[in-house]
Structure 1
Amino acid sequence: MKKLFIAISAIGLFFTSCNQGEQFKLTGNISGQTEGKVYLSKVQDNKLVKIDSAELKEGVFEFVGTVASPQRYFIQLDGKKEALQFFIENSNININADVEKLAEAKVVGSAEQDVFAAYKESQKVFNEKGMNLRKEYMAARNAQDQVKMDSIIKVDEVMQQEIKEVTDEFLKNNAASVVSGFIKYRMTGGMELPKMEEMYNAMPENVKASIYGVKIKDKIDILSSVAVGKVAPDFTLNTPEETPFSLSSLKGKVVVIDFWASWCGPCRRENPHMVELYKEVNEKGVEFLGVSLDDNKEKWLKAIEDDGLVWKHVSDLQGWNSKAGKKYGINSIPATVLVDQNGVIVAKNLRSAELKVEIEKLLQ
């Protein structure tokens, strides 16, 4: 492991002298396929979007362009599900790949890609171990072997701590790399605001200025606007009957905003407890407002009926791109926001038992 960290540190030093020209020239060689379409893609609004295409001629393709700062892109081949993820920067980059093993392609010419490759290598053993643990857990669950399931969970907890230690060391040794900003951005899911601010403030200026640093700052700004003590931002979404409904129409009452989705297992497991809580507090003037991150209306409505969710529900059926979800900085569900009679946020992300305690305080 020490040898790995030494290699990563060396890459971090190399980053400081990498060539930042005015554009990138990306040349690729694909063995096993001589012609067809090649796509350059990137993630936008949680979806992989094709932004450019090139013709594969005798197994060779080329893209030329400019990026404001290094960032993650993907190469996709027409008719193939597998994609290669890598980092582009303004330099000459070459890709050598097998059509049947695109994700394992060798990428040279980008210092940030070298850092990214080192990071993936540092995580490889954990990915493999995690896959095996999931298989073992599913087998134990199917066999209803609770002792085995508990044992696997303990092993996973130890592994998660190991992952944290390896990742922390990697980030320390590669603090000036934009890849570190990318990793930190991915770590912000479910992270509390103070921890996120601390992490952002410690980032070098070049990483703050990268697309990932900007995304972290945007998250901080959003979460600051919906922090405990702030007035809950209003939003209007459609009910299942296609009628616009606004959060502000509930002002004067204690409101529980419940962000969930029909496809969210933890949400569905929590729903019976939420139903019991609603029955207990609704008669005291407390309202629930379910905000679904579904994108399929039929599945949304079926989940409402199957789980007996008798309170008000709204959704724009945009999944993770839900306007309300984005406004409240929701990046994991279930998520709850408790709003008092004056429209002020008093608590966040409480489960039913904890939620009940805070609701009772507001009703005193």
Structure 2
Amino acid sequence: MKKPYYLILLVLISLFSCKRDNSIIIKGDIKGLKSKWVYYKPVYPQMGESTDSAKVTDGKFEFSFQPDTAFFANLVSISYVDEKGTRRPIAVCNPYEPAKNHSRYADFVVGPGLTTITGDLSKDAGAILKGSPQTEFYLRNINLPFIRISKDSIGRNEQAERIKRIIQDTPNAYWAAFAFSNFKYYFNHEQLKDFYAGFSDEAKSSYYGRRLKQFIDDQPTIKNQFANSVFLDKDTKQVSLIDNAKKLNMIIFWASWCGPCRQEIPSLKRITAQFNKDDVRFVSVSVDAKKENWLLAMKQEDMAWEQLIIPQQQFAKAQAQYNLGSIPKVYLVNNKNMVVKKIEGFDDGNEERVKTFIADYLSKN
């Protein structure tokens, strides 16, 4: 009768004995490193303090971590204080770049396992980094988050296929998940879902994996659908973005700190003055983090149409809903909450393009 309990015990023992080793060890051997201590710090949050330190003996140091929970990977830096009292990073070079093009990086990816950093501060070559598969993926694909996504749909689709293959080849790569912080705005909803599906469960549960999933979940599921969110006016009154009684709604996303946005305002004044407010509703939406900066800019610019601001607790969701990877961004939306035209960035020719489009649209609807 006791056999089932023995079986359960054996299963539990086997599970714990096969538990993944998440230990992280970083060993350094840097000639000319005269600092008594080196400091370990995750790169994000950027204003955070160092989380650990290690004593330096003859240029050698070691960090050793044994996380209580699963450790995926992280972007970190190791720094020291030089003889003048200045905090400096131990910069690493990329061995996969040609020697003459070696760039030096203050940050690097560390994952479970052993990472070694060797070098000589008296030379300008940077330290040599060797480590876990996560570290190697980072070094081999260091420019992945910063690739320029093509504006051409054919070129962009080719890039999407390349990124998809990278994820399929290394589905647990931290650096691939991190990359979507930069270029998630450039691919459509279905492409992002496809990318996300290719990641391992480990990568999906990481910080950047969760952020990507949340971004996808917050996006409109129907192409050209425009979410009719409720934001705030200067008196903190809740106001809907879309007025469905109008034939057309023109929504302008901007910020007080955005030079091109401010440069666009004279054109917006001429556009809003040209059309009957019974047909077209104009509203500018600020992405400013500080309300006082927005209020000051509104006073300076004297914009006569409706002005709203995104509450900070809604900002992350709004980024996905309206694809706010860059501003200024203008949406022309009909009374069925569908985008009929979108204009990104500032260009001297935008004013005439918008005027012509609105006039043609109103004449046909």
For Structure 1 versus Structure 2, the TM-score category normalised by the shorter chain is 0.5 to 0.7
In structure 2, relative to structure 1, the CA distance for the partners of 1:250 and 1:166 (3 Å cut) is closer
Q: State yes or no: 1:111 paired with 2:133.
A: yes
Residues 20 and 91, structure 1, Cα contact 8 Å, conserved in 2: no
| Aligned equivalents of 1:257, 1:249: Cα separation in 2 | 8
Give the equivalent residue in structure 1 for 2:274.
280
How many matched pairs?
Answer: 304
In structure 2, relative to structure 1, the CA distance for the partners of 1:305 and 1:346 (3 Å cut) is same
In structure 2, relative to structure 1, the CA distance for the partners of 1:98 and 1:166 (3 Å cut) is farther
Q: State yes or no: 1:221 paired with 2:217.
A: yes
What is the deviation of 1:29? 5.4
What is the deviation of 1:225? 4.8
- Larger RCO (alpha carbons 8 Å, 6+ apart): 1
What is the aligned counterpart of 2:77 among 75, 78, 93? 75
In structure 2, relative to structure 1, the CA distance for the partners of 1:104 and 1:223 (3 Å cut) is farther
Give the equivalent residue in structure 1 for 2:361.
361
Residues 188-237 of structure 1: CA distance to partner in whole angstroms, max 9, x if unpaired? 23333344345445x3545863634443333222222575235x242333
Give the equivalent residue in structure 2 for 1:349.
342
| Aligned equivalents of 2:125, 2:75: Cα separation in 1 | 12
| Aligned equivalents of 1:71, 1:102: Cα separation in 2 | 28
The 3-state SS of whatever aligns with 1:263 is: coil
What is the aligned counterpart of 1:294 among 288, 295, 300? 288
What is the deviation of 1:257? 2.6
Q: State yes or no: 1:237 paired with 2:232.
A: yes
Give the equivalent residue in structure 1 for 2:106.
84
Greater fraction helix: 1
In structure 2, relative to structure 1, the CA distance for the partners of 1:272 and 1:104 (3 Å cut) is farther
| Aligned equivalents of 1:54, 1:69: Cα separation in 2 | 16
Residues 25 and 63, structure 1, Cα contact 8 Å, conserved in 2: yes
Give the equivalent residue in structure 2 for 1:247.
240
Residue identity matched to 1:22: N
What is the deviation of 1:355? 4.6
| Aligned equivalents of 2:232, 2:283: Cα separation in 1 | 11
The 3-state SS of whatever aligns with 1:188 is: helix
Residues 294 and 317, structure 1, Cα contact 8 Å, conserved in 2: no
Q: Which runs of 5+ in 1 are unaligned?
A: 1-18, 131-156
In structure 2, relative to structure 1, the CA distance for the partners of 1:326 and 1:188 (3 Å cut) is closer
Q: Which runs of 5+ in 2 are unaligned?
A: 1-18, 90-104, 345-349
Q: State yes or no: 1:182 paired with 2:182.
A: no
What is the aligned counterpart of 2:254 among 239, 260, 268? 260
In structure 2, relative to structure 1, the CA distance for the partners of 1:245 and 1:219 (3 Å cut) is same
